[in-house]
């Protein structure tokens, strides 16, 4: 949410034109803003006035924001476009890592880099006023700073620009999550097995007049487990949730990697089953349908209540036969931590392997001080970061090695 500091409107007196350029920047940042909405915004500002900065903000917000995930981008572009006289300096600092100064004062806020990118593109498209003195054009050679996919893999999802997030989604759509098969107790006929199959051996002997010529053998049968993902879509997790849902869509639709079935659930203030939407081959259509189904995007967090609903209504249906559970959340719970711990214990006992991905683990000084984190940590098998592509690639190694517990042991030592 933008801070409502004193409003500094452009001094050229061309309010309608500036609202049009503001809408164009929103469109470049990904918001569905067409000419009709621009006309509505101009008429709304004329009707409501703009002496009160909050009225001006919410008037434009009502005209341009139609989905909860657009609110953060709108707030950042509004802050940069309408109120910050040094917004060009801030934007250049966001987009040029080599420049010292503003960028190092603080990390980029959510959607800030995306807003800066849209506004810089908007500046480049503006017609040149012949009455204005021509400014010296500065060219920045970025060839030596090009990072490529390797740097993108280490970049936090929340700090990515629009172009970087688009490339990250391409990489995520090509990733897989291989898993070893589960060895069951059932024995099946197998020439390489070590257990003798007396029934098939004697049946073969009867066909040869009672002469035993071969000892048939059996071996343990194998099957593929289910993957169940519980993804937190509250306000603090929204950017990570979208990236991880892209990853889960790729895992759901990639054949031959081992999973019997992938089940997806989102939770914030309530639990939503999005499994059937993940089965859609088109990722944009799938996530759009999932967004319509889950109406608590970027809201609050009630992890304990949502896990209680999952354990009561879905656990027996989807966690049978050794399912693996991915829990993606920052663990910032406001409800009763004792209830959260009880529901986590029940979830842990119902599945074969419980992996918790927490974006907060990207900080070197992270410690389980929050009550929700302390309540959940003892009931997971592995605790890992989930804030960038490299962290998701490391998830495959955790599944392949049952002895991999991530950072769980180190953080459990802090609790004792």
Q: Name the residue with tokens 């995930």.
A: 69
Q: Which fold is adopted by the domain 226-415? A: Rossmann fold (3.40.50)
pLDDT value for 265: 94
Name the pTM for this structure.
0.64
185: which 2 tokens? 């107790």
Mean pLDDT of 226-240: 88
Burial class of residue 269 in the structure, from the number of CB atoms within 10 Å of its CB (0-12 exposed, 13-18 middle, 19+ buried): middle
Would you place residue 312 in the very low, low, confident or very high pLDDT band (cuts 50, 70, 90)?
very high
Long-range contact set of residues 142-147: C-beta below 8 Å, sequence gap at least 24? 142/96, 145/96, 145/97, 145/98
Q: Which fold is adopted by the domain 15-82? A: DNA polymerase; domain 1 (1.10.150)
197: which 2 tokens? 């199959």
Residues forming beta bridges with residue 228, ordered by sequence position: 263, 325
pLDDT value for 115: 66
Using an 8 Å Cβ cutoff, are 216 and 189 in contact? Answer: yes
Using an 8 Å Cβ cutoff, are 232 and 244 in contact? Answer: no
Using an 8 Å Cβ cutoff, are 164 and 154 in contact? Answer: no
Burial class of residue 256 in the structure, from the number of CB atoms within 10 Å of its CB (0-12 exposed, 13-18 middle, 19+ buried): exposed
pLDDT value for 231: 93
Provide CATH 3.40.50.410 ranges for the chain.
Answer: 226-415
Mean pLDDT of 163-188: 84
- Residue 179 Cα distances to 10, 95, 227, angstroms: 57, 38, 10
Provide CATH 1.10.150 ranges for the chain.
Answer: 15-82
For residues 266 and 4, the model is more confident at 266
CA 247 to chain centroid, in Å, comes to: 8
Mean pLDDT of 285-297: 82
For residues 118 and 181, the model is more confident at 181
Mean pLDDT of 257-261: 80
For residues 404 and 199, the model is more confident at 199
Tens-place pLDDT, residues 32-46: 888 888 888 888 887
Tens-place pLDDT, residues 359-411: 988 887 888 888 899 999 999 999 999 888 888 888 877 777 778 888 888 88
Distance CA 116, CA 122 (A): 10
| Mean pLDDT over each residue of the chain, to the nearest integer | 79
Give percent above pLDDT 90 in the chain: 20
């Amino acid at each position: 949410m933008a801070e409502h500091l004193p409003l500094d409107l452009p001094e050229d007196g061309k309010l309608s034109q500036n609202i049009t350029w503001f809408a164009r920047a929103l469109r470049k940042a990904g918001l569905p803003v067409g000419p009709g909405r621009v006309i509505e915004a101009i008429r709304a500002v004329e009707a409501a006035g703009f002496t009160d900065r909050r009225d001006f903000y919410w008037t434009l917000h009502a005209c341009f924001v139609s989905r909860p995930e657009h609110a953060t981008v709108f707030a950042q572009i509004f802050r940069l476009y309408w109120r910050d006289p040094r917004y060009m300096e801030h934007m250049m600092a966001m987009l040029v890592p080599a420049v010292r100064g503003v960028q190092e004062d603080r990390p980029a806020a959510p959607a800030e880099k995306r807003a800066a990118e849209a506004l810089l593109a908007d500046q480049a498209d503006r017609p040149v006023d012949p009455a204005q003195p021509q400014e010296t054009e500065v060219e920045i050679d970025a060839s030596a700073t090009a990072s490529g996919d390797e740097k993108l893999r280490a970049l936090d999802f929340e700090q990515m620009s629009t172009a970087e997030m688009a490339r990250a989604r391409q990489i995520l759509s090509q990733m897989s999550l291989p898993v070893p098969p589960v060895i069951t107790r059932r024995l099946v006929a197998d020439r390489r097995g070590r257990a003798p199959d007396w029934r098939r051996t004697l049946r073969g002997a009867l066909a040869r007049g009672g002469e035993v010529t071969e000892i048939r053998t059996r071996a343990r049968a194998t099957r593929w487990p289910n993957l169940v993902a519980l993804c937190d879509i509250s306000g603090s997790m929204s950017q990570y949730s979208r990236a991880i849902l892209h990853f889960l869509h790729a895992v759901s639709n990639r054949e031959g990697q081992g999973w019997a079935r992938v089940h997806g659930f989102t939770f914030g203030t309530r639990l939503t089953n999005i499994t059937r939407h993940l089965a859609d081959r088109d990722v944009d259509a799938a996530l759009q349908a999932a967004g319509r189904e889950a109406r608590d995007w970027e809201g609050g967090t009630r992890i304990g209540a949502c896990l209680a609903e999952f354990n009561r209504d879905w656990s027996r249906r989807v966690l049978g036969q050794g399912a693996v559970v991915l829990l993606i959340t920052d663990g910032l719970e406001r409800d009763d931590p004792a209830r959260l711990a009880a529901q986590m214990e029940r979830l842990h006992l119902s599945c074969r392997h419980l992996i918790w991905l927490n974006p907060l683990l990207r900080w070197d000084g992270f410690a389980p001080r929050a009550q929700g984190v302390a309540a959940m940590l003892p009931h997971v098998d592995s605790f890992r970061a989930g804030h960038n592509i490299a962290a998701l690639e490391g998830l495959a190694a955790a599944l392949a090695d049952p002895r991999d517990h991530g950072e769980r042991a180190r953080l459990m030592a802090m609790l004792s």
